Amino acid sequence: MRRAGFTLLELLIVLMILGLVAGLTTLSLRGGSVVDRAGETLVTRLLDARVIALRAGAPAAFVAVAEDDRLRMWVEVAGAVDGDAGVERVREREMMLPGVVLIDETPDFGRDAADETALANGARAVFGASGRTPARRWVLARAGASAGAAGDSGGRMVTIEFDPITGVPELHRER
């Protein structure tokens, strides 16, 4: 005689499927795009470089270069080693970033003539001892998306704009 109801095996399978669906839903809601996370990381590192400049009372340059599906970032500090006149790289980081480009849209008139900040696929922000920087706007986007075509291509794009008074970077998400 067979009773009505479910076997223990059937209940375990249903619970396993529900757990899997819940886990995938949580991951998809939590994440954001690769470009969003990279933008957040850039702003955090830029703020770090700004604090280094403020504390040291000397310029510190934050450099970010997107190459070979990676975003390489570092801070350059002048005279960081025992008052040496050289430049030392500190706080080097790297993150996987497939198919993403970084563009520095700071106009040339915003730069010092001797400042060699133009990078092929990257950006450089030099923070002075006051924490200010001549950098104005960086764009981080999927390859093939541009400021005018980001909405058309469905690509995700973030911009980082620097406050002209304080030099504090702010992240703006665009679709």
Please report, for the domain that includes residue 43, its CATH number.
3.55.40.10
Residue 1 counted as domain residue: no
**What's residue 147's pLDDT?**
44
Query: How far is residue 64's CA from residue 49's CA, in Å, rounded to a whole number?
Result: 12
Residue type, 132: R
Residue 17 counted as domain residue: no
Residue 23 counted as domain residue: no
Verdict on whether the full-model pTM lies above 0.85:
no
Residue 150 counted as domain residue: yes
Residue 5 counted as domain residue: no
Residue 147 counted as domain residue: yes
Q: Which positions of the chain have pLDDT values less than 50?
A: 80-83, 109-118, 146-154
What is the count of structural domains for the chain?
A: 1
Residue 15 counted as domain residue: no
**What's residue 69's pLDDT?**
79
Supply the range of the domain harboring residue 113: 34-174
Q: Is 43 helix (H, G, I), strand (E, B) or coil?
A: helix
Residue 10 counted as domain residue: no
